[in-house]
Homo-oligomer: A and B are copies of this chain.
Amino acid sequence: MTHPHPVTLDDVRAAAARIDGVAHRTPVLRSRTLNARVGAELFFKCENFQRAGAFKFRGAYNAVSRLSAGQLAKGVVAYSSGNHAQAVALAARELGTTAMVLMPEDVPASKRAAAAGYGAEIVTYDRYRADRAVLAASLADERGLALIPPYEHPHVIAGQGTAALELVEEVGHLDALLVPVGGGGLIAGSATAVTCLGRPVRVVGVEPQAGDDTRRSLESGERVGIPVPRTVADGLATQTPGELTFSINRRLVDEIAVASDEEIIEAMRLAFECLKIVVEPSGAVGLAALLAGRITPTPSRIGVLLSGGNIGARRFTDLLADDF
């Protein structure tokens, strides 16, 4: 990808039109208690209420919907043990095609069931013996399936940007936008959407402390790799930024903040008690960084992307029990 602007605001707007009436226009919540705690006006964009429980459906649906009729007749393939799997499965069903999802053999039964529940065919692999990307590519090749990557695709990135676009359309100008960073697709799309709309917005990515590959990469000016991160925020545990996403984020992202696992769990607790909502660990990093005082100086009007809510009650109680 050498094009200087592989994704534009117009691409995000086109994605918004495609997902209109299919994806939820998720609510924006506010809390006087949290505003007082942070000393700013916070606007929480609740992608935990998105279909399939996370923002991922936006990008997956946009990407699948751009395939040709011939390709839709053959089907799509994705590799993911997380929210992208469910998103692609649901998008495929909505668009009348079939999805194959590669998951490691030891994926939790609930995640497997969630993707299967949307009609996907689940193919498992031995995570110690096989490279999932290679496996997916060869399956795509053999069976003529279109590979829908979790973030390394302009249509996926444009779709992810629609959440931030909706947020700014609803609440007006923001001084800063906080976005969780894993592979970098959500923030690449979000930054594309908000930096081209009116007054400048400070775009802040947030990573788990143990998984700060994008922070390190931005600091060193090139993509760097880190060991497999151990963090409660499993959706953000990437080892290196995407090539395409990094080419966008190095231009448009102002800074990266981090949050520790303990801070993430405390943010989940406060989202529960003050907002009355369920946010998964990866979705809570923005609020966590704010509460930990990592966003300085504190902007006046801050948008916070709560990216997903896929966490079982059992897992939630276990996480908080360690914390009490």
Q: Tell me if A296 is interfacial: C-beta within 8 Å of chain B.
A: no
Among listed A75-83, A159-167, A187-195, A270-278, interface-contacting one: A270-278
A42 CA / B169 CA spacing, docked (Å): 29
Give A82 Cβ to nearest chain B Cβ, in Å. 16
Segment at the interface with B among A131-139, A148-156, A313-321 = A313-321
Number of this chain's copies in the assembly equals 2
Residues of A within 8 A of B (CB): 27, 29, 48-49, 53, 269, 272-273, 276-279, 309, 312-314, 316-317, 320-321, 324
Which A-B residue pairs are the 5 nearest by beta carbons? A276-B309, A317-B317, A276-B278, A48-B276, A269-B313
Min CB–CB distance A124 → chain B (angstroms): 24
A31 → chain B closest CB, angstroms: 10
Bound Cα distance A279, B314 (Å): 16
CA distance A313 to B273 in the complex (A): 7
Cβ–Cβ contact A324 & B314, under 8 A: yes
| Alpha-carbon distance A14/B29, docked complex (angstroms) | 27
Show 8 residue pairs from A and B whose CB-CB distance is below 8 angstroms, ordered by the A residue: A53-B276, A272-B316, A273-B312, A273-B313, A276-B309, A314-B320, A317-B324, A321-B321
